[in-house]
Structure 1
Amino acid sequence: MSPLPWSVGADSWSLSVNLKNGRWINHATGAQGDSLIKLAAFVWRIDRWQAALRLAERLGVDPYK
């Protein structure tokens, strides 16, 4: 486990992800979302479209099919 890069202090380890419904929350910052794409965009600090493309690339999926 490693600290989240965008938060500092004792809560920097506190990220919850519900694997059943995809909701996530960073308890240190209050940021939250409801999809893997939004989480990736938040972590990588990019927009959702770029996050979707990057995830597709990492998963070996053609995003245009």
Structure 2
Amino acid sequence: MIKLNFNNLDEETQSYLHSLSKKDVESRYGKLLWEYAINHQLDYNKLVEDETIRNLYNYKYIFNI
């Protein structure tokens, strides 16, 4: 069994997974993050980016070799 994490992937794959993660975070938590950003006077895009990175490390990567 090969265990990989996000840092072991090539740049193109990282970019692709990052975009998927961002869409996932925005669809799941977008409204909550927006409200949190407004209430705490924070940058919404920064919050989404932080959650996107955090979300990437929760993925399980499966590869067909």
Give the TM-score taking structure 2 as reference length: 0.25
- Ranked by relative contact order (alpha carbons within 8 Å, sequence separation 6 or more), the top structure is 2
Higher strand share: 1
Structure with a larger share of its residues in helix: 2
- TM-score normalised by L of structure 1: 0.25
Larger Rg: 2
